[in-house]
Structure 1
Amino acid sequence: MKKIFLAMALLLATASSAHAQVVSEPVTSDYAVRRSAYPRILPGSRAEFKISAPDARKVQIDLDKKYDMERQPDGSWTCVTDSLGPGFHYYFIIVDGARVSDPASETFFGCGVAASGLEVPYSEGDVRFQMADVPHGAIAMRPYYSTPDGAWRRMMVYTPPCYHKSGDKKYPVLYLQHGGGEDERGWAIQGRTNIILDNLIASGEAEPMIIVMADGNSTDFTRSLIEDCIPLIESTYRVIPDADHRALAGLSMGGIQTLNTVIEHPELFRHVGVFSSGWWADANAPAGMGKDTEKYYSKLASDKDYFNSQFKNFWISMGGEEDIAFNNCRIMRGRFDDMGIKYTYFETPGGHTWPVWRESLYNFSKLIFK
């Protein structure tokens, strides 16, 4: 049986803010390198770029679509984009056909390469994803050895503001996975996980929790999570080591990894989040996502009452019909409905993008460990 959770106020706010004029004069992007004036955000949520390439014949900006840049007398190239939605956007510069990152921007591992990033301000009053004057937690990088991969990997671990001041108090843990073409830094940097949780914890809307962001680029994610990541966290941090205080969530590829893991090990997690994802509905699945999904459907169908009782929160979100995973998710939810699997569905406009996944984490984290 399906539950529909449509936070209409948030949907309307997100939709209306996508083209809101949130700056009254040009402001430099949050991710412009020091002393660089570009890229910058103009009124109307447009982005302006300036690139020095005096010997180039053609220069473009690739940001949602390709924009031709105009050559200036000094050998620089400039352009202004259409109005952009709020939040984080990857982009590239194309110089005479070669796609490269912008030397004026910070770089991020996304789309499987080093990509540039642009942060478009949210509408006035929407401070959910902005640094605020509240107590701040910390994100630490910890190495771990991945048994199935036979190699060292990294995880990013968020601890809430109260963690180091609370004596022997123990905390629940959310294991939060990135998507394909990204790594453990995605949620920590592009996703602004610490900012989202700091703000929610300060307002009392989310329980203080530890968040573990591991490297999902593994030959066997489920095995590495269970054999390597969870034991390390539970032996190193003050956590409550039971299913009631353990959650697993992920976006895109991380959503499929989440589904595979919780269906194989429903006894380990009471809270499940699947963002912009769903088991692949055809034979053209990318590498690592084309496992025999019918075995998971069979497990669910054979004991639906057990699975329904195990998961206190089975939360699925999607970035509207423009999300590239929308059809996979729609088909999966239809099969869940047919077999009587209970879940909550949340949809917000924005496609397969970080603004959507920030929104998903914001809403999911308010539900868990209550």
Structure 2
Amino acid sequence: MDDFSLDIRTLTFIIILFSFIYCVGLQLFQFSQQPIKGLSLFSISILVIGTGPLMLSLRGDAPDWLSIIGANMVIALGFHMALYSLCLFRGYSLKSTNLSSLLMLGVLLSFVYFTYYVPSIKSRIIIISLYVAIVTLSTALAVLKGQRNDLTLATRMMALSFAVYGGFMVVRVIAVFFSAELNDFMTANLIHQLTFLFSIVLIVSMSFTMLWMINARLLSSIHELSYSDPLTSLGNRRALDEIAPELMKKANTIPVSAIMMDIDNFKSINDQYGHIVGDYVIKSAAEVIQSAIKLSSSATAFRFGGDEIAILLPNVHLQQAQEVASTLRQSISEIKAVRGHDLSLTSSFGVAQFHPHESWDEFMSRTDKALYNAKKNGRNMTSTCLSHTNGPVSTEA
């Protein structure tokens, strides 16, 4: 093991090469897509982290303020930027970045002291390693505890990369503390050579996992778009069809009810005020419905088509569903103005409860039939279809 050695200058070249490639790649990705919060700063932090070792390799050819103090402060700045950017990216508190900023000031003053007043390579290594350990472990925590709903495996892998690097820096601090004073950092022993190797691994890992999380976000966004109505943000017909088999299974043990509603005289609203106002009317009704059912963890609403909205109510009996429909009808009637236009909105509702011996299409057809009956009998009311053998019974809500 004593014969094993790594060339620090070669590792330095690899670090700056990888840093540059990943920085440019992530920046191009940022410019070609919808901007992602924290990504630009993250990509720059990779380049800054890689620039620090390059400046260190200038020791002897450049003044100490550049090759020692400047180089280490650039490294500290790079890890600080990585922490800050990932707090933004993951939606985590920025309190840890404030601590990092204060520690950077301490690092600067310490490096000036141990470079010009009491020269000590050993002390400088302990200081920068301790700072990097604190910041990388804080970064691992920020990645894990962030509020954004990112891919779990990717976030854990990124957090692990920073945690391992931080752990290595703690080991480095301990190893250096109990070792003799160094005469030349560029010819230092294996623990310092491994620092450069670990830095390469960290840069590759953090870049790869960042792309992984971004890609997962894009896939999640595409999935949401394919199952979400763009106007109302409710589920669409595809989402409704997706949930149907699961609800049919539940209907064997719990009641499942459905409400179908639409806005009365919606065509007249479109004709009189235009389709833009009509869209906002639908959106306003959807917001009322979404607000009313959000307290229920199982109730879901879908835009069935046009101004029709379907509401599925697992574990809700028919009578309870009628009460929900009545409340919604009253709430929608309280919408008095849309886009500056005074309106008097009313809505009609059809209610049905699923029967285990019928198909999903028959169930939705009965609910739709109940809605049609409410509109036929005067609108602004709720109609209930008791079973597939009995006709709807209209009740004014």
Between structure 1 and structure 2, the one with the greater Rg is 2
* TM-score, structure 1 normalization: 0.21
Higher relative contact order (CA 8 A, sep 6+): 1
* TM-score, structure 2 normalization: 0.20
